[in-house]
Amino acid sequence: MAGYSDLKYAASDAVCGLVQPFTPEIFADSCGRFVDGFWVTLELLILSCAIGLGIALASALARVSGNVLLAPVSYAYTYVFRGTPLLVQLWIFYFGLGGLGEEALGPVLWAFFADAWAVGLLVLTLNTGAYVSEILRGGIVNVARGQMEAAEAIGMSWFLAMRRIILPQAFKICWPAYGNEVVLLAKGSALISTITVMDLMGQTRTIFARSYNLEIYLYAAVLYLAITGTITVLFKLVERRLSTA
Amino acid sequence: MEDPSGLALLGFGPEGWGDELLRGAWVTLQLALCALGVGLALGLLLAGAKLQRFPPLAWLAEGYTGFIRGTPEFLVLLLVYFGSEAALQSGFAMFGLAAPFEMPKFLAAVLGLALIFAAYACEVFRGAYLAVPSGQMEAATACGMSGRQAFSRIRMPQIWRFAIPGLGNLWMVMLKDTSLAAVIALDELLRMAKIGSETTREPLVFFLAAGALYLMMTAISDIARDRLERRARRGMESA
Chain B residue closest in CA terms to A209: B82
Q: Are A91 and A79 in contact (CB under 8 A)?
A: no
* Closest residue by Cα to residue A32 from A10, A47, A2: A10
Q: Are A235 and A243 in contact (CB under 8 A)?
A: no
Of A87, A208, A229, Cβ closest to residue B179: A87
pLDDT in tens, A97-141: 998 888 888 999 999 999 999 999 999 999 999 999 999 999 999
Q: Are A35 and A44 in contact (CB under 8 A)?
A: no
The number of angstroms, rounded, from the C-alpha of A116 to the middle of its chain's C-alpha atoms is 16
Q: pLDDT at residue A6 above 90?
A: no
A155: distance to nearest CA of chain B, Å?
33
Mean pLDDT, residues A226-239: 96
Q: Do B86 and A214 touch (CB under 8 A)?
A: yes
Chain A residue closest in CA terms to B63: A225
Specify the pLDDT at position B101: 72
Going residue by residue through chain B (239 aa), what tens digit of pLDDT does each one get?
A: 445 666 777 877 777 888 899 999 999 999 999 999 999 999 999 999 999 989 999 999 999 999 999 999 999 999 999 998 888 888 877 777 766 677 889 999 999 999 999 999 999 999 999 999 989 989 999 999 998 999 899 988 888 889 999 999 999 999 999 999 999 999 999 999 999 999 998 999 999 999 999 999 999 999 999 999 888 888 776 54
The number of angstroms, rounded, from the C-alpha of A30 to the middle of its chain's C-alpha atoms is 26
Per the model's pLDDT, the better-predicted residue between A29 and B26 turns out to be: B26
Q: Do B208 and A92 touch (CB under 8 A)?
A: yes
A vs B, Cβ pairs < 8 A, gives 108
Taken as a whole, chain B contains a residue count of: 239
- Confirm or reject contact between A87 and chain B (CB < 8 A): yes
Q: Do B214 and A89 touch (CB under 8 A)?
A: no
Give residues with Cβ within 8 angstroms of A73, minimum separation 6: A62
Q: pLDDT at residue A1 above 60?
A: no
- Confirm or reject contact between A95 and chain B (CB < 8 A): yes
For residue B203, give the amino acid letter: P
* pTM for this model (two decimals): 0.92
A156: distance to nearest CA of chain B, Å?
31
Q: What span, in angstroms and rounded, lies between the C-alpha atoms of B140 and B136?
A: 6
- Confirm or reject contact between B65 and chain A (CB < 8 A): no
Q: What are phi and psi of A235, to 5 degrees?
A: -65, -40
A154: distance to nearest CA of chain B, Å?
31
Mean pLDDT, residues A21-33: 83
Specify the pLDDT at position A147: 93
B86: distance to nearest CA of chain A, Å?
9
DSSP structure class, residue A162: I
Q: Are A32 and A18 in contact (CB under 8 A)?
A: no
* Closest residue by Cα to residue B193 from A119, A96, A191: A96
SS (H, E, C) B119-157: HHHHHHHHHHHHHCCHHHHHHHHHCCCCHHHHHHHHHHH
Residue A188 burial (C-beta neighbours within 10 Å; 0-12, 13-18, 19+): buried
Q: pLDDT at residue A187 above 90?
A: yes
Strand segments, DSSP code E, in B53-205 are none
Q: What span, in angstroms and rounded, lies between the C-alpha atoms of A5 and A11?
A: 10
Q: pLDDT at residue A210 above 60?
A: yes
Q: Do B180 and A221 touch (CB under 8 A)?
A: no
CA torsion angle A89 A94 A97 A102 (round to 10): 170
pLDDT > 70 in chain A, percent? 99
Q: Is the ipTM above a cut-off of 0.85?
A: yes
Q: Are A117 and A178 in contact (CB under 8 A)?
A: no
Q: How confident is the model at residue A29 (pLDDT cuts 50, 70, 90)?
A: confident
Residue A154 burial (C-beta neighbours within 10 Å; 0-12, 13-18, 19+): exposed
- Give how far Cα A89 sits from Cα of A81, A119, A234, B176, Å: 8, 10, 29, 11
Q: Do A205 and B208 touch (CB under 8 A)?
A: no
Which stretches of chain A are DSSP H helices?
A: 2-19, 25-29, 31-65, 70-83, 86-91, 102-113, 116-142, 145-153, 158-161, 167-188, 200-211, 215-244
Q: Would the CA dihedral through A70, A108, A81, A160 be positive or negative? A: negative
Mean pLDDT, residues A209-224: 92
Q: Do B190 and A91 touch (CB under 8 A)?
A: yes
